[in-house]
Structure 1
Amino acid sequence: MRRIPWRPRARIMAVVITLFVAALGLSNAAAANTATANTATVQHIAVPAYFNPNGSPGSTFWTQLDQSTPAVGIAVANPDSGPGSAFDQGYANAVQAATNSGVQVIGYVDTGYFGTTGRTTRDGQTTTAAWTAQAQADVDNWYSWYGGYGLAGIFFDDGLADCGTDNAHVSLYEAINTFTKQNHSGALTVDNPGVAADQCYADAADVLVMFEGTYADYTTWTAPAWELSSTDPDKFWHLIYNTPTQANMENAVSLSKQRNAGYLYVTDDNLPNPWDTLPTGTYWSDELSQSAADGGGGGGGGSCTPIAGSGDITSYSACMTATTETFTATFNVAASFHHVFIDTDNNQSTGFQLPAPSTSALGADYMIENNTLYQSLSSGWSWTPVAGVSPNMTQNGNTYTWTVPLSALNNPATTQQAEFNGNTFYTDPVTFAQS
C-alpha cells in the first residue's frame, strides 16, 4: 500500500541553552516571516486514510473518522496505490459509511510526475502518454466501482510543483483535472506535490497539498507568499507527521492557521508509513477541537481590542482563549529583536524582573523573542528555549502577531500580564484573561 511520498528536509535539532547577558542584552533568534498574511480560522481535518477497512485495526480507524465529523472533512482511500485491480466491498462499505457521516472520501491516483522523472507505470512504461492513460483509467475505475457509494473525488499524488517550460508541467495537471471533472460531475480534486507549488497550479485542482513532512521541519518552514495572501484557505492542505506530543500538535495547528491552510492533518505516526494509523485519545480529540477553534479571541480584560499606546510601540494587545494566547503590536521604529514578556503566574515576584525604563518589573515567566519562546530561569537575564514550540511571528507592515499554545506554558493563571519591548522602549503592562 502506497504512502504519500515523504520529502527529506534539513532538520534543525533543538539545543537547550542558557543565556547570561546584560539586562538589556538581546540574543539571536530565527528570522521573521515578513509576508503579509491572511490566517485560516476554522479548518477541517483531511486524512490520508491509508488503512484497510477489511479487518482490525483499519476498520476501527475508519469508524473513528466517521465519528469525528464535522471536524473531519476529507479522507483519502487507497487500496493499492490506486483503486486496486478489482472492486472491494469492504472499501465500498467504508466509503458509504464515511459519506453518510459527512466525510468526503476521495480516491488515490498516482500520477508518477507524469513520467518526467523516469518513474514507470504499472506495466513498465515511462512516457507522459502512458502515465496519463493510467491516471485516467484509475479515475474511471474509482468512479465505476465506488461512485455509487458516494465517492467525492480524486487525490492525485506524486505531483509536480513547478510550472515547467511554457507551463508544460502544470498543463498536465490541468488536463487530468479537466478530464476528471468533465467525466465525473462534482468531483473534488486534490494535487499533492508535497512541497509548495507555484501559483500557476492555483486552478489545476480544487486543493493543493503545500507541505508534507515532519513537525520539526514544519516549525521552520515558510509558506509561499501567494498562499499567505490568498483569500481562500480551503485551497491549501498541510500534512505533518512525527509530531510526538499533544503540545507539539497544538503548535502545529496554530502554525497552520497562521500559514492560511484550510485543511490539515497532524499525526504522531512516523515513517516508513505515517498514514497507516490515526491518533487516539486526547491527542485526537484535542486536534479536532483545535482545528475548529477560532485563532483569535481573548485580550486585555477578555477582548482583543488593541491599546492605542504611543511612542515606539502602538496598537498592542494580548489575548487568551481556552487553547492559545495571541499577542499583537505595531513597532514604529526599526528593531532587530521584538519581545513579548509574559507573566503567566500573575506573580510579579517570580520570573525575569524587567529593568527601567519599563514602568513595571512584571515578573516575566516567559519571553517571546522574534519567533522563539523562552522560559525564565531566574529573576535575571537567564532563559531556556521551550522545545517544540515556535510562535512563528508573522508580519503585516510594521505589525507583528504571535500565537502560542496554552499547553506550552507551565500551569498558566487565568489572568496574566504582558509587556512589549523593542530596543529600549517598553509598553505599559497589558492585563488579559481567558475569553
Structure 2
Amino acid sequence: MLGDLVATTPAASVVVLNPGNGDAPFDGRWQARADALRAATTATGEKTKVLGYVHTDHGNRDFDAVKASVDNYLKTRDGRLHVDGIFFDVVSRDCGPGNATRDHYARLREYVQDTMDGVDPTAADLVVDNPGTAIADCYLEPGHRTADVFVTFEDTYAAYTGGGWLGGNVFADSGGYRTGTELDPTGTAFWHLVHAVPDATAMRATLRTAFDRGAGYAYATGTRMPNPWDESPSWKYRSQTLYAATLG
C-alpha cells in the first residue's frame, strides 16, 4: 500500500501513518517511509502532508497517554520532524459540559503545535480530528478551534448515498446540521472517508458528492471493514488523485 502511494502521481494530499495504533515507536523504518511520502508532489504543486495516528477514546483517554503517543511521532532520536502533524482518531463530536471536551482537544492541538515548534520553528503543523460524523460547531469557534481539518464522515458508500449523511459537516447545540462553510475560510476544513465503494465510477461519484457537501478532502476505497484503510483500492490511487484534481 505505501509503495503504491509513494509511486502515485499526482500524489495524495494527506497520508496517515498508523504504526501499532499510534502507540508503537515511530522508528527509522517508519521515518523513512514518511520521508519518501513527504517528497511527493500533489496536483496543486504542494508536498504530501504525512500525519501520525493517535487514538483518543472520545476524549476519555488520559491526556498524558495521548501526549506520549504524540511524542512517538514528534520527538524522534534524530531530533527531526518526519511528519507534518497528528491525526487524532475516535474524537468526540460534542462540546461536553461547559465545553470541557472541546477544550480537551484544543489543549491537544496546542501541544502538537508547541512540540513541533520546539523541534522546528519553521514547520507548518497540521492537526486533524476524526469524529467520523458531523461535529459541534464549538470545535471551530475562533480562539478555541481544536483542529485544522475535521473528518465529518467515515462510513460506507451505501451510507454516504443513503441515510447515513446527516445533512451537514457541523451542528449547533440547538440542533440542525449545516455545511459549515462559514466557519471554513480555507475551504479545506472537512474531510470525508468512504469505504466499500463498489467501483471506479462510484469512486468518482463519491468525490463529486464530497466536494458538493463542503469537503476539502475526500477519499474513497472499495475495501471493507474491519480495516478498510490498510489496502490500496482496486482502481489504485492515481485514478483517484487525477480525478480529484479535475474537481478542484
TM-score by length of 1: 0.48
The reply to whether residue 159 of structure 1 matches residue 91 of structure 2 is yes
- Give the partner amino acid of 1:91: W
- Give the partner amino acid of 1:189: V
Given candidates 91, 104, 129, the residue that maps to 1:191 is 129
The corresponding residue for 1:110 is 55
Shift of 1:69: 4.4
The reply to whether residue 236 of structure 1 matches residue 190 of structure 2 is yes
Q: Mark the structure with the bigger radius of gyration.
A: 1
The corresponding residue for 1:63 is 3
Counterpart mapping for 1:24-423 below 5 A = 61-84=1-24, 86-101=25-40, 102-115=47-60, 131-145=62-76, 148=80, 150-185=82-117, 186-202=124-140, 203-220=145-162, 221=165, 222-223=167-168, 224-229=177-182, 230-281=184-235, 284-294=237-247
Shift of 1:163: 1.0
Shift of 1:151: 1.1
- Give the partner amino acid of 2:135: A
Alpha-carbon displacement from aligned partner over 1:149-200 (angstroms, at most 9, x marks no partner): 5311001111010111211110110011111111212321010111110111
Which has a greater percent of strand? 1
Question: Gaps spanning 5+ residues in structure 2: where?
Answer: 41-46, 118-123, 169-176
- The whole-number CA distance in structure 2 between the counterparts of 1:285 and 1:172 is 38
- Give the partner amino acid of 1:183: T
Give the fraction of aligned pairs with identical amino acids, expressed as a percent.
33
SS of 1:195's equivalent? Answer: coil
Shift of 1:103: 1.6
- The whole-number CA distance in structure 1 between the counterparts of 2:64 and 2:194 is 31
The corresponding residue for 1:126 is none
Aligned partners of 1:71 and 1:292 also within 8 Å: no
- The whole-number CA distance in structure 1 between the counterparts of 2:90 and 2:189 is 18
Aligned partners of 2:9 and 2:238 also within 8 Å: no
- The whole-number CA distance in structure 2 between the counterparts of 1:213 and 1:285 is 22
Question: Gaps spanning 5+ residues in structure 1: where?
Answer: 1-60, 116-120, 122-130, 296-435
- Give the partner amino acid of 1:173: Y
- The whole-number CA distance in structure 1 between the counterparts of 2:202 and 2:227 is 20
Which has a greater percent of helix? 2
Q: RMSD across aligned C-alpha pairs, in angstroms?
A: 1.9
SS of 1:233's equivalent? Answer: coil
Alpha-carbon displacement from aligned partner over 1:321-353 (angstroms, at most 9, x marks no partner): xxxxxxxxxxxxxxxxxxxxxxxxxxxxxxxxx
Shift of 1:98: 0.7
SS of 2:67's equivalent? Answer: helix
Alpha-carbon displacement from aligned partner over 1:269-312 (angstroms, at most 9, x marks no partner): 0011100101144x6333222211137xxxxxxxxxxxxxxxxx
- The whole-number CA distance in structure 1 between the counterparts of 2:83 and 2:242 is 26
Check 1:279–1:258 CA distance in 2 against 1; reply closer, same or farther (3 A cut): same
Check 1:255–1:155 CA distance in 2 against 1; reply closer, same or farther (3 A cut): same
Aligned partners of 2:190 and 2:214 also within 8 Å: yes
- The whole-number CA distance in structure 2 between the counterparts of 1:105 and 1:273 is 20
Shift of 1:232: 2.9
Greater relative contact order, per chain length (Cα 8 Å cut-off, separation 6+): 1
